[in-house]
Chain A
Amino acid sequence: MPTGNLSDVIVVGAGVVGAACAYYAAGAGLRVTVVDRGCVAGGTTGAGEGNLLVSDKEPGPELELALCSGRLWAELAGTLPPRIEYEPKGGLVVAPGAAGMSALRDFTARQRTAGVTAEETPAERLRDLEPHLAPGLAGGVHYPQDAQVMPALAAAHLLRAAGGRVRLRLGEEVTGLLAGPDGAMRGVRTRHGEIHAPYVVNAAGTWGGELARLAGVELPVLPRRGFVLVTEPLPRVVRHKVYAADYVADVASGSAALQTSAVVEGTPAGPVLIGASRERVGFDRTLSPRALWRLAAGATALFPVLAAVRAMRAYTGFRPYLPDHLPAIGPDPRVPGLLHACGHEGAGIGLAPATGLIVARCVTGAEPPLDIGPFAPDRFAPSACTAPD
C-alpha cells in the first residue's frame, strides 16, 4: 500500500526482531525505515547465544510460534550467507536424577503431540551424543529441531538481504510518536526530525514498554538479566546445545531472584558459551561474580572437561520479559497503525522470523501464519490509558 511518505512502515529497533520485521515487510513490497538509537544488534540481540529452540517450550502458542520460526530459519539459512552460522545441531536435555528424568519424559510426551521431535536417550547412550558429558546422569532427550545462529550477524544479514526497500537510521533515538487527529499513527519523531509512515512497529525489545508509553499505551515489558560466560577458543567439545532439565522450570518461572541452570554450547568461532542466569534487577549491568560462579559450576558439573579450560570473558543482557512469558505481536487495537513485536524474553532470536512474518502480513492485510490472539498487545491493560495529545 504505497503512500505519499518515503516509507510505508517504520520499525523501531534494529535487533533481530526488527530486522526480521523489515525483511518480511520488504519482501511484501513495502518500503521500510528501521530506526534504532544504537547500532544493529546493540541491545539484547547482541547479548544472546542465538538459540533457536523448541525443546524448552511446552505446548501452546509460544511453541507454535517457535515451530513456525524454526521452519523459516531453515529457509533463511538457504538465503542468507553462511556467516550467520546457522547450525541445525539439535538440543540435548539431560536429567541428573531419576525424578528429573521422569518429569522430562512427561514433558516430552506432551511436546510430541504438538509436533516436536523428541528422542529419549538412555543414560548409557548419552556419551555417544556427547562424549565429554559427566558420568552418572539419569538420561536425556535429543531434540533434532533445535538449532543455533550467531545472533548479531543474523540480524545484520537479515537487514542487508532485505535490500533497497529498507533504509537504516542508526544512532537516532525515537523521542515521540506522531499521531493524526484521529489518533492513528503518522510516524515517529527523533532527535534528527520526523519520519512519516502510516505504520509504526515497536520492535524495541526490552525497551518496548517505553516506546508503548510514547503512544500512550501500557505494555509491561520488564528486563530479566542474564549472563553468558565465554571460554577460550576450543575445538568442538560440545556438539549440541546441552542443558539440564531444570532450565525449563527456570524459564517458566516469574521469580525475581537469581536462578541459574546449566546451558552449554559450542560455537563455530571456537569459544563455548555457558548460560543461563535469570534475575530481575532492572537495567543494572554490574557484573555478578555469584552468577558467573554458578554458571561455571553448573557447566563443569555437566562437562567436567571444562574445568580445565579458561573462561575468557562474560557478557550480560536484558531479556524483554512480559508477565505471561509470551511476546506482544500484532496490531495494537488502542492505537491504529501501531504494531508491537517485542517481549520475546530469552527466545527472541528463535522467534524473530515468525514475528516478522506476522507483522508483515498484518500490515499488508494478509492472513498471519498462525493465530495471534494469545500475543495480543492489549492483554495486560487493566484500564484504558490516555491517548497522546
Chain B
Amino acid sequence: MARTPADLVGAQPGPPFEITFDGRSVTARPGQTVAAALWGAGIMAWRTTRDGGRPRGVFCGIGQCFDCLATVNGRPNRRACLVPARPGDAIVTQEGHGHDHLAV
C-alpha cells in the first residue's frame, strides 16, 4: 500500500469535516487547502477561462500563478491552493472572472 505524505511525517490530523463543491459534499481534513481537499476528492478543475471557457485547476500550487482561482463562499478569485478549507465552505466553479452579475 502506498504511503501518503501524512504517513511519512507521522501526522495525526483532527477529525475530517465536510465542504461542498458545486453543491456536492467533499471531505476535507484540518490543515488542507481548498485545492488539496478537491484533489483528494478527485476534482481537478474548478474554473473556466474568460476566453474560450477552458477548464482550470491547480498549476503551481504555491500561490504564484493564479490558475486555481475559485469562488469560495460567494467570493470569486480566491486562490484555492492558499485558502484553508473550513467546515461548511461552499466552493463553486468560477465561470470566467466570476463577476458576471456586475455587468452593465
Interface residues of A (CB under 8 A from B): 130-132, 232-237, 239, 270, 305, 309-310
Task: Give the distance in Å from the alpha carbon of A47 to the alpha carbon of B77 in the complex.
Answer: 25
Q: Quick check: B99 and A131 within 8 Å, CB to CB?
A: no
Query: Contact check: which of A130, A239, A309 meets B99 at CB < 8 Å?
Result: A309
Q: Quick check: B97 and A236 within 8 Å, CB to CB?
A: no
Whether, in the assembled complex, B104 has its beta carbon less than 8 Å from a beta carbon of chain A, the answer is yes
A310 contact set on B, CB distance < 8 A: 77
Q: Quick check: B97 and A305 within 8 Å, CB to CB?
A: no
Whether, in the assembled complex, B11 has its beta carbon less than 8 Å from a beta carbon of chain A, the answer is no
Residue among A130, A132, A232 with most chain B CB within 10 A: A232
Whether, in the assembled complex, B7 has its beta carbon less than 8 Å from a beta carbon of chain A, the answer is no
- In the A-B complex, the 3 residue pairs with the smallest Cβ-Cβ separation, listed nearest first, are A235-B103, A233-B97, A131-B104
Q: Quick check: A236 and B104 within 8 Å, CB to CB?
A: yes
Closest chain A CB from B74 CB (angstroms): 10
A131 contact set on B, CB distance < 8 A: 104
Task: Give the distance in Å from the alpha carbon of A194 to the alpha carbon of B76 in the complex.
Answer: 54
Interface residues of B (CB under 8 A from A): 50, 76-77, 97, 99-100, 102-104
Closest chain A CB from B48 CB (angstroms): 13
Q: Quick check: B99 and A236 within 8 Å, CB to CB?
A: no
Task: Give the distance in Å from the alpha carbon of A309 to the alpha carbon of B97 in the complex.
Answer: 11
B76 contact set on A, CB distance < 8 A: 232
Closest chain B CB from A165 CB (angstroms): 36
Task: Give the distance in Å from the alpha carbon of A130 to the alpha carbon of B104 in the complex.
Answer: 8
Q: Quick check: A270 and B102 within 8 Å, CB to CB?
A: no
Task: Give the distance in Å from the alpha carbon of A270 to the alpha carbon of B102 in the complex.
Answer: 12
Q: Quick check: A237 and B104 within 8 Å, CB to CB?
A: yes
Q: Quick check: A234 and B99 within 8 Å, CB to CB?
A: yes
Q: Quick check: A232 and B97 within 8 Å, CB to CB?
A: yes
A-B contact count (CB 8 A): 33
Residue ID in chain A nearest B99 by CB atoms = A234
Residue ID in chain B nearest A132 by CB atoms = B104
B50 contact set on A, CB distance < 8 A: 233, 270
Task: Give the distance in Å from the alpha carbon of A107 to the alpha carbon of B102 in the complex.
Answer: 33
Task: Give the distance in Å from the alpha carbon of A130 to the alpha carbon of B103 in the complex.
Answer: 11
Q: Quick check: B77 and A235 within 8 Å, CB to CB?
A: no
Closest chain A CB from B10 CB (angstroms): 39
Residue ID in chain B nearest A232 by CB atoms = B77
A236 contact set on B, CB distance < 8 A: 103-104
Known A-B contacts A233-B50, A270-B50; A239 and B104 likewise in contact (beta carbons under 8 Å) = yes
Closest chain A CB from B82 CB (angstroms): 14
B104 contact set on A, CB distance < 8 A: 130-132, 235-237, 239
Residue ID in chain A nearest B69 by CB atoms = A232
Closest chain B CB from A134 CB (angstroms): 14
A132 contact set on B, CB distance < 8 A: 102, 104
A239 contact set on B, CB distance < 8 A: 104
Told that A234-B102, A235-B104 touch, could you supply 9 new A-B pairs with CB distance under 8 A?
A132-B104, A232-B76, A232-B99, A233-B50, A234-B97, A235-B100, A235-B102, A236-B103, A237-B102
Task: Give the distance in Å from the alpha carbon of A237 to the alpha carbon of B101 in the complex.
Answer: 10
Closest chain B CB from A328 CB (angstroms): 41
Residue among B97, B99, B100 with most chain A CB within 10 A: B99
B102 contact set on A, CB distance < 8 A: 132, 234-235, 237, 305, 309
Task: Give the distance in Å from the alpha carbon of A232 to the alpha carbon of B50 in the complex.
Answer: 13
Closest chain B CB from A212 CB (angstroms): 43
Closest chain A CB from B53 CB (angstroms): 15
Residue pairs across A and B with Cβ atoms less than 8 A apart, 19 shown, are A132-B104, A232-B76, A232-B77, A232-B97, A232-B99, A233-B97, A233-B99, A234-B99, A235-B100, A235-B102, A235-B103, A235-B104, A236-B103, A237-B99, A237-B102, A237-B103, A237-B104, A309-B99, A310-B77
A309 contact set on B, CB distance < 8 A: 99, 102
A232 contact set on B, CB distance < 8 A: 76-77, 97, 99
B103 contact set on A, CB distance < 8 A: 235-237
Known A-B contacts A236-B103, A239-B104; A270 and B97 likewise in contact (beta carbons under 8 Å) = yes
Task: Give the distance in Å from the alpha carbon of A303 to the alpha carbon of B97 in the complex.
Answer: 19
Closest chain A CB from B93 CB (angstroms): 17
A237 contact set on B, CB distance < 8 A: 99, 102-104
Residue ID in chain B nearest A130 by CB atoms = B104
Residue among A131, A232, A235 with most chain B CB within 10 A: A235
B77 contact set on A, CB distance < 8 A: 232, 310
Task: Give the distance in Å from the alpha carbon of A310 to the alpha carbon of B75 in the complex.
Answer: 10
Task: Give the distance in Å from the alpha carbon of A235 to the alpha carbon of B103 in the complex.
Answer: 5
